Structures are given as structure tokens and as C-alpha cells.
Amino acid sequence: MSEPRRAEGRTDAGIPAQPVYRPEDVADLDYQRDLGDPGAFPYARGVYGSMYRGRLWTMRQYAGFASAEESNRRYKYLLEQGQTGLSVAFDLPTQMGYDSDAPVASGEVGKVGVAIDSVEDMRALFDGIPLDRVSTSMTINAPASILLLLYELVGEEQGVDPAELRGTIQNDVLKEYIARGTYIFPPQPSLRIITDTFGYCAERLPSFNTISISGYHIAEAGATAVQEVAFTLSDAIAYVEAALEAGLDVDQFAPRLSFFFVARSSLLEEVAKFRAARRLWARLMHDRFGARDPKSQMLRFHTQTAGVQLTAQQAEVNLVRVTLQSLAATLGGTQSLHANAFDEALSLPSEKAARLALRTQQVLAHETDVPLTADPLGGSWFVESLTDEIEAQVADYLARIDERGGAVVAIEQGYQKGEIERSAFDLSRQIEQGERVVVGVNRYRADEEVDPELQRVDEAVRQQQVERLDRVRRQRDQAAVDAALADVAKAAEGEANLLPVMKHALRERATVGEVCDALRGVFGEYVPPDTF
């Protein structure tokens, strides 16, 4: 049986690959002299000199489902199993700024993540987990600042100084317009909330990463490795420009910028992608924005293995895929990693599947030689050539986006979305026609398959959330809440930082949906251009 993709000799991103590589095949013939060291500009070989010899990557398994209490039990279980950081998945109503009792939330409460309506839920989510001793990542975008403020309030209740809180909020709204769709407000007010968060955290939460600029969802929508890096960095440029326009100093906020990428099964291309992204970002920050703090030039990133490459067919084979993808992330120098559970193409991860995913990371960390040296594949003629080619193609995309007026204008024109849709269509066609082999799907099928035991969310979760929400509203001082929400709307009409007034409203037991509604009343809601 023919193997068209191998015979054609192209990577998944369409970059031609030669049968063998020699030194002269690397674009920069002096690469051995100019490759640089890990921990030194332009950081192609890693952001820290000793990399994993000094400290292993953070094992941050993404989890959250049903109620805050159930998610809390899963977090404690994962911490007991050796996880070194928390990563919170929120349900769709929370992600889109709706309370659990909103009509639009029906059928979605607690399904793809945990439902968080008020500070009461956030308190239950972290009950018994000392926030000064864990690092918490929150995958939340449009209402990211609101969830961060809830986290800060719970930390204060625990007696934790906000300066000791560590973690990351995704807070990357631009990629929502491009690839994912959980946006609320139009781009300009969304950028204002993000830059307000930068300023607030620089003063109040200096150890918290204020944004995780995400290529993961761009890749999951169908982007190639080149498009993933290009569109992620173009969004990052827009955030930096917005912060500078808001009067922030680049070296005040840039050290807390972080990134989020996918790791696919195309191991060597993924390693080169990470190396190229680091090198590009360092040069962009130094040359374009004049950043002089080395931390402003370092592209630090979290990685998640490729959910879109998991298959419902022969689900156990996903263990192999996730292992390869985790290897790509660690060989590429990630700072933290989530390894997907093998059953995620079928349901939320079961406890057994979540444990196996964590064990995959632990085996890589403790039973392989990956952590022994920084940038293990650096100097490979093939990897260096791929790194150069990815960097060149990404730079070409960035130039095209600049010509259009920047990422926001390009988004409004549908440019990135159109490019991704073409790549997604090409990939789908290749799989359907057998040009790209997916084991168990279009080749090597099994006659009989047995589904693993799946995690199910109790349908009673929504009713329980509605009852808790009703109790919060009955017990709070409604006049104080109304006044606080009016202050949020008034601040949105002006130019003052929004986070202090939002925090006051949340402390008075205003809900996530109510704060978002106060902002909706001023900013309106985003309507994609292709829906007119």
C-alpha cells in the first residue's frame, strides 16, 4: 500500500523535507557559532540555562467538571498523585459570562468544565487547597479578569498576600474571534479590559501571568504549525501595542506575558516550531518594542497535547499519541505541560485516564534522559533547517498582517479565520482520501471495539447550581450589589481601571453574569462579520 505523504516528503505544515541533511542545508552556515546557549538571547535553545536539570516542567493537568465540590475532589486527587500545578477548566456559560440560571445556559452547566457563578463557588473550588502553595492556571478569556478577582478574594479569605498568588489566566480574547468563539465584547473594549488587567496585576499580583496568548485553539481549529505561531505572535503584538497605548511601560508588563501552544504527533516539526517561536519573540520584543529586561524577551509557554488528534476509534491508541506529543513538548523546552487523557475523544476524562495522563509526564521526567540536557535536538541539521524555515514563513505571515493594519483589523476582515479554514479543509480532504494516515480511522481499523468506562456529569448539577445561586442572591445586600454594579457600568463609560470596581462588586456577592451584564450594557456584544 502506498504512503503518499512519506513519498511526497513534506512535513504536516507542508515544508519540504530532504531524505538526508548536511551542514550546508542549514540556512545560516554559521549556525554552529550563532546557535547560542540556553538562557541567552535569542533563547532558541530554551529560556533557562539549565532547563529541566534545574527544575522540571510543571505538570499541570487540565481538569474541572460539574460542581465546584466535585472539581475540588479531582484537584486534590491529582495533587496527591504528584501533579505540581492546577489547571481549571470552566463550563461554557462561565466562559461566556452567563450565570447557571440563564436560559442560554440550559444543557451546558458543568459539562465541559466547572460552573462558577460567584465567590461562593470559587471558595468551594479551592477548599482545603492553600493558594500560596500552588500555581493555578485558569483557561478563561472574555471574563478572565472577573475569575482572577474571585481567585484573589478567596486568597484574601485564606490570609494570602496577593503578591504570593502564582498562576496564569488565559485572558486571550483575540484568538476567540479567530478560532474558538467564546467572546463577549467587541475587540476594542476587550483589549481595554486586558490592558487594565496588566496594570492591576503589575501593582497587586506581580507573580501572576496576566495572559497566556494561545496558539493551541488556533491549531485545534485546523491551523498548521506555521499559522499557529504566526497568528499567536500577531495577537501578542496587538496586546503589547494596546498596553503601550494605555501608558504602560513594556518592561513593566511584558515579563508576565506567557504563551500556550499545542504539541502534535509530528515530533521534529513541533520541536522546531517551539524553537522558532522563542527566537522570533525575543527579536520582536528587543527590536520592535525596545524591551530591555531579559524576562520581557523570553517566550515562556504552556503546552497541551493535541486534543484534535485523539480518536474515538481504538481510544487506547491515544496513549501512544499523547506520549509522543508530550515528548515533543519537553524536547522543545516547554515550561508546563498538560497531557490529554486517552478517553477525551469520548467524554470528560475518567479518574483512571487522568492518572495515566499524569503518569505519562512522570515517566518522561523520571525514567528518560530528556531532562539531562537543554535543547537535546539543537544542532541537528534537520531541526535547525526546520527552525529556520518555520521562522521565515511566520515572519512572512506577520508582514502580511502588518500590511493589513495589524491583528485586530485582520480579524475584522476575517483573514486569519479564512487561512485556518483552508488549512482545515486540506487536512480533512487528505484524511478522507487516505493521503494522511490516521491509525484506526482510515487505516488499521479494528473489527470490534470496547469503549472504556466513561466519566459522566450528573444532570442534576444545573439544578444544584441554580439553588446555590438563588441562596447567594437571597442572603446578600441587594442594594449594595446594585450600587456596585452601577459603579462598574460608570467605570466602563470612563477610562479608569475596571478591576477595582469589579472586585468590589464581586466581594458584595455580585455574580459573574451580573458583572458581565453591566459591561455588556456599555460595551455591547461582538457580532462576527460573517453573520451579518
- Sorted by where each begins, the domain ranges of the chain are 53-365+375-432, 479-531
Q: Do residues 452 and 315 touch, judged by C-beta distance below 8 A?
A: yes
For residue 222, give the nearest of 416, 28, 29, 445 by alpha carbon: 416
- Give the predicted TM-score (pTM) of the model: 0.92
- What pLDDT, on a 0 to 100 scale, did the predictor assign at position 28? 63
Confidence band of 455 (pLDDT split at 50, 70, 90): low
Read off the C-alpha cell for 395: 515572519
- What pLDDT, on a 0 to 100 scale, did the predictor assign at position 24? 83
Contacts 24+ apart (CB under 8 A), 504-507: 505/481, 506/118, 506/119, 506/146, 506/149, 506/150, 506/153, 507/119, 507/153
Top-confidence residue, 483 or 54: 483
- What pLDDT, on a 0 to 100 scale, did the predictor assign at position 408? 95
Q: Cα–Cα distance between 46 and 376 in angstroms, integer?
A: 10
Mean pLDDT within 250-275: 97
For residue 178, give the nearest of 454, 403, 415 by alpha carbon: 415
Confidence band of 92 (pLDDT split at 50, 70, 90): very high
Specify the CATH class of 53-365+375-432 in words.
alpha beta
Using only C-alpha atoms, the chain has a radius of gyration, in whole angstroms, of 23
- What pLDDT, on a 0 to 100 scale, did the predictor assign at position 26? 84
- What pLDDT, on a 0 to 100 scale, did the predictor assign at position 458? 66
Q: Cα–Cα distance between 18 and 41 in angstroms, integer?
A: 29
Q: Do residues 86 and 133 touch, judged by C-beta distance below 8 A?
A: no
pLDDT in tens, 290-333: 999 999 999 999 999 999 999 999 999 999 999 999 999 999 99
502 has a pLDDT exceeding 70: yes
pLDDT above 90 as % of the chain: 87
Read off the C-alpha cell for 413: 476582515
What does DSSP assign to residue 435?
Answer: S
Q: Cα–Cα distance between 226 and 389 in angstroms, integer?
A: 9
| CA 459 to each of CA 54, 107, 181: distance values in angstroms, whole numbers, following the listed order | 46, 8, 25
| CA 356 to each of CA 262, 320, 349, 351: distance values in angstroms, whole numbers, following the listed order | 19, 12, 10, 9
Q: Do residues 499 and 491 touch, judged by C-beta distance below 8 A?
A: no
Number of H helices, E strands in the chain: 22, 10
Q: Cα–Cα distance between 58 and 56 in angstroms, integer?
A: 6
5 has a pLDDT exceeding 60: no
pLDDT above 70 as % of the chain: 95
Q: In what order do the strands lie in the sheet with 166-169?
A: 62-63, 86-89, 135-139, 166-169, 208-209
Q: Cα–Cα distance between 300 and 191 in angstroms, integer?
A: 21
440 backbone φψ class: left, alpha, beta (φ>0; ψ -120 to 50): left
The three-state secondary structure class of 254 is: helix
For residue 130, give the nearest of 168, 92, 160 by alpha carbon: 160
- What pLDDT, on a 0 to 100 scale, did the predictor assign at position 66? 83
Confidence band of 530 (pLDDT split at 50, 70, 90): low
- SS3 sequence of 494-528: CCCCCHHHHHHHHHCCCCHHHHHHHHHHHHCCCCC
Q: Cα–Cα distance between 277 and 219 in angstroms, integer?
A: 14
Mean pLDDT within 206-223: 96
279 has a pLDDT exceeding 90: yes
Confidence band of 532 (pLDDT split at 50, 70, 90): very low
- Mean pLDDT value across the chain: 93
Q: Cα–Cα distance between 344 and 307 in angstroms, integer?
A: 7
Q: In what order do the strands lie in the sheet with 211-214?
A: 58-59, 336-338, 301-305, 257-263, 211-214
Q: Among the listed ranges 118-122, 206-210, 473-477, 525-529, which one has the minimum average pLDDT value?
A: 525-529
Task: Name the most confidently modeled range: 5-19, 219-233, 446-460.
Answer: 219-233
Answer positive or negative: Cα dihedral of 427, 176, 153, 100.
Answer: negative
What does DSSP assign to residue 310?
Answer: -
pLDDT in tens, 374-417: 999 999 999 999 999 999 999 999 999 999 999 999 999 999 99
| CA 465 to each of CA 12, 118, 136, 216, 269: distance values in angstroms, whole numbers, following the listed order | 44, 10, 23, 30, 44
Q: Do residues 58 and 336 touch, judged by C-beta distance below 8 A?
A: yes
- What pLDDT, on a 0 to 100 scale, did the predictor assign at position 450? 65
Top-confidence residue, 369 or 107: 369
Q: Do residues 488 and 498 touch, judged by C-beta distance below 8 A?
A: yes
Q: Do residues 343 and 349 touch, judged by C-beta distance below 8 A?
A: yes
pLDDT in tens, 32-54: 546 889 999 999 999 999 999 99
- What pLDDT, on a 0 to 100 scale, did the predictor assign at position 2? 44
